[in-house]
Amino acid sequence: MSSRKYFGTDGVRGLVGTPPISPDFVMKLGYAAGKVLAAQGTKKVLVGKDTRISGYMLESALEAGFSAAGIDIGLLGPMPTPGIAYLTKTFRAEAGIVISASHNPYHDNGIKFFSQDGQKLPDEIELAIEAELDKPMGCVESAQLGKANRIDDAAGRYIEFCKSNFPNQLTLQGLTIVVDCAHGATYHIAPNVFRELGAKVIEVGTSPNGTNINDGCGATSMQMISEAVVEHQADLGVALDGDGDRLMLVDHTGYVIDGDEIVYIIADNDLMSGTLQGGVVGTLMSNMGLELALKKLDIPFARSNVGDRYVMELLREKNWQLGAENSGHIINLNHTSTGDGIIAALNVLTAVCQQGKSLHELRQGMTMLPQVLVNVRFNGDSDPINADSVKASVDKVNHQLTGRGRVLLRKSGTEPLIRVMVEGPDHDEVTSLANDIAQAVKLAS
């Protein structure tokens, strides 16, 4: 595959005001994407955004670019990433565009694309857009310019879709749920979903001002919701990130439940209800405790590279339905076409209601193994992972942890760092072993 100049694993992302997240570049990106998509037969795209202040500027720039390419635009306003994927399908649009930098702070932003089936664009389309970006920007004749219209009922449509993924015979009545929306795109959606299904909802992070998205709240900062659950004596807490595709949970004790434990709870309940198809896909970073817990249930488990894009690829390859990253991306193809924090929360609440157990009780079937991560800076021109001394150190640790733990070394995709991860049953042991390997990496750098 050709190397990418602008697109990363999750679209185009960066610091606002600096290319590629500058108004001139984003307008050209809209035009380039419009030209490529028009050649595929596209006539209409949907554009949604999270609550960052830069969303207004980037939305206008994209609108101008698509219009210049002759593409009609439906403007959704603030809308979770999975909601845009869903609405792209229901509106029969040929593509959906998300203006968001997900869990990043407000001064970052990004653009990502969905195809008409609600999944991320194929690699060949992204590469074609990159090729078009290297050409001068043009404009169709005035009579062929794309038109823009604002879709006012987008939030209501998505709320109804979310509710439809919770069994009709069940209710959330009697449950008190703290919902933290990270001052992001779910602020006007998630509380209403859980409230309309019968729960008493305590809202956190639902007052976006353009600059407070993900700021000390949401799925990437769990202290506030943990304290709120205990303070309000709630049954559980639901924490979403800025664009609503990540989920972390909190049980009634304030304990934080990550993506590994969430997908275990869903898989266990799906197995009991007979709806589990195949096995579960995790990533190289998924806790070994998940693998061992699923093994006890005779549920197959496979690991992909880190990134929900790669989880999705392996799910398709195996024809399985359920996958997750420990960071909280949960993909359940029985319900959605992409990772969806609200839907994943409803999947867990389905288990709570069907089994008559608390969230705290549901997670007892899985024991998280201590996992230690050490970052080692290295000379970008060297390759310490393949040094004989490093390989020998890794082999020694693997031998010591046979059947009890594992080792993972990988390069950071953004910095000259080697990430050394060791996990096993004893925290002191894995800490010592991780430091041993890290020292070998330093000496080989």
Report how far apart, in Å, the C-alpha atoms of 311 and of each of 97, 157, 281, 325, 338 are.
21, 28, 6, 8, 10
For 146-165, letters b (16+ CB in 10 Å) and e give bebeebeebbebbbebbbeb
Please state the length of the chain.
Answer: 445
CA distance 425 to 78: 44
CA distance 131 to 62: 18
Give counts: helices (H), strands (E), the chain: 14, 18
Answer yes or no: are the C-beta atoms of 407 and 354 closer than 8 Å. Answer: no
CA distance 345 to 67: 37
Q: Which of 215, 217, 214 is nearest to 225 (CA)?
A: 217
Burial label for 122, CB within 10 Å (0-12, 13-18, 19+), is: exposed
Which of the residues are catalytic? Answer: 102
CA distance 40 to 34: 10
Q: What would the DSSP string read from start to end of 101-120?
A: -TTS-TTEEEEEEEETTSSB
Angle at 427 between CA 366 and CA 385, to 5 degrees: 100
Instruction: Give the SS3 label for residue 273.
Output: helix
Assign residue 41 a region (left: φ > 0; alpha: ψ between -120 and 50; beta: otherwise).
left
